[in-house]
């Protein structure tokens, strides 16, 4: 992972961690359920965006290297890996 992407992912994850801690506090304070759900949805969206940033970096580095390489088995492995990620996200 490129240094710039890595730093962006770290910052996003720290933000999500803070957000989750805030949700925990809301539950502990017995806050309104809908407000908690909205915050959970916001944290999920932030995680989804983080996943997208990581996937984009992977496609432009690791996958590109594998596809351009001379090893057909490595190409197939890399493509199957991407397919598996999408299959897993649709469960």
The CATH number for 31's domain is 1.20.58.1000
How far apart CA 47 and CA 18 sit, in angstroms, is 12
> How many residues belong to the chain?
91
Query: Percent of the chain, pLDDT > 70?
Result: 100
Closest residue by Cα to residue 55 from 44, 45, 63: 63
Bigger pLDDT: 86 or 43? 43
Give the domain range for residue 65: 3-89
- Please indicate, yes or no, whether the overall pTM of this predicted structure exceeds 0.95: no
Residue 21 pLDDT more than 90?
yes
More confident residue, 28 or 85: 28
What distance in Å separates the CA atoms of residue 79 and residue 83, rounded to the nearest whole number? 6
Instruction: Tell me how many domains the chain contains.
Output: 1
- Are the beta carbons of 40 and 23 closer than 8 angstroms? yes
């Amino acid at each position: 992972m490129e240094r710039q992407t890595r730093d962006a992912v770290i910052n996003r994850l720290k933000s999500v961690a803070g957000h989750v801690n805030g949700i925990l506090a809301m539950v502990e304070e017995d806050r309104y359920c809908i407000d908690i759900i909205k915050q959970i949805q916001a944290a999920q969206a932030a995680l989804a965006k983080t996943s997208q940033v990581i996937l984009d970096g992977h496609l432009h580095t690791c996958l590109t290297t594998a596809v351009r390489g001379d090893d057909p088995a490595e190409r197939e492995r890399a493509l199957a890996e991407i397919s598996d990620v999408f299959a897993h996200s649709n469960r």
